[in-house]
Amino acid sequence: MAGLACFDFDWSLIDTDSDRFVIQSLSPELRRKLDTSPMQWTDLQNECLKDFYDQGGSGQVVRDALTKVPLDPDMIKACQLLHAKGWTLVIVSDANSIYIDGILQHYGIKQLFSAVITNPAFWDSQDRLHIQRLIPADAPPHGCPLGICSLNICKGQEIDKLQKQLRQQNSANKADGSTAENFAPSQRMLYVGDGRNDYCPALRMQSSQDIYFVRKGRSLEAYLEKSAPNIRDAIKARIILWTRAADILKVVQEIA
């Protein structure tokens, strides 16, 4: 039975942090700035890119860096298999739309994903890249009660919105007699993540048939192992710790 497959991006779909990878490619000095500045993370990315362009950098250097981001072939196979079996694939990430689009395009898998939920980014007329927060600083806060989501995105709430959209699309397809693949709220869900902000969306999985892929050695695993029992007990999905994409591919081959 197909379902909804959600992927975080950094250290989940890809094998690095795209923000740090790109900035390191542009300038070691700017990479050090990422580790020392108290600025909000998304704003800091935009500031580093501004510094890069002010120093004479070009947009082509940024685009070239995206082609060097590592993506495990087994992760690509897992995504292709899920898509072929009728799963709806989405990315929910605190990266940005330009980085994600460029990397997916480079590996030829952009068409596998029905939606990419992330921070918006755009190239201006001078070929400078701008990155913005998904939830702007002057907008009402998302109000997630967990207190661990980033200021600019609550992935759990974004999953809620996405599922609502899919249900509406499903209803519209039924109304007009469309034979397009329909999404049912009861379908299975899997989520691939590595960070603490990947905990909130996992609470949307309410069945032991759902699968929560948690990357070993990252902050999400440490959060789940905290002494407070309600943290891990709140997860109803089957938790699978993974190290390499081959671990995910093996499970996907069994369930898809």
Q: What pLDDT was estimated at residue 177?
A: 64
Binding-site entries: 8, 10, 19, 94, 194
Catalytic residues: 8, 10
Q: What pLDDT was estimated at residue 167?
A: 86
Q: What pLDDT was estimated at residue 181?
A: 52
> CB 14: neighbour CB atoms within 10 A?
25
Q: What pLDDT was estimated at residue 184?
A: 55
Query: Do the beta carbons of residue 18 and residue 41 sit within 8 Å?
Result: no
The tokens for 129 are 């890249």
Question: For the CA atoms of the chain, what is the radius of gyration?
Answer: 19
Binding-site entries for substrate: 19, 94
Q: Where are the beta strands (DSSP E) in the chain?
A: 3-7, 88-96, 113-119, 121-123, 129-131, 188-193, 211-215, 238-242
Compute mean pLDDT per 10 residues along the chain, 256 residues long, and list them.
Answer: 94 98 96 95 98 96 98 98 97 98 98 98 98 97 94 97 89 65 69 97 96 97 87 95 98 92
Torsion sign over Cα 112, 115, 116, 120: positive
Q: What pLDDT was estimated at residue 175?
A: 67
Under CATH, what is the fold of the domain 3-15+70-118+141-255?
Answer: Rossmann fold (3.40.50)
> pTM for the complete prediction?
0.94
Binding-site entries for Mg(2+): 8, 10, 194
CA 186 vs CA 95, 182, 204, 208: distances in Å: 29, 12, 12, 12
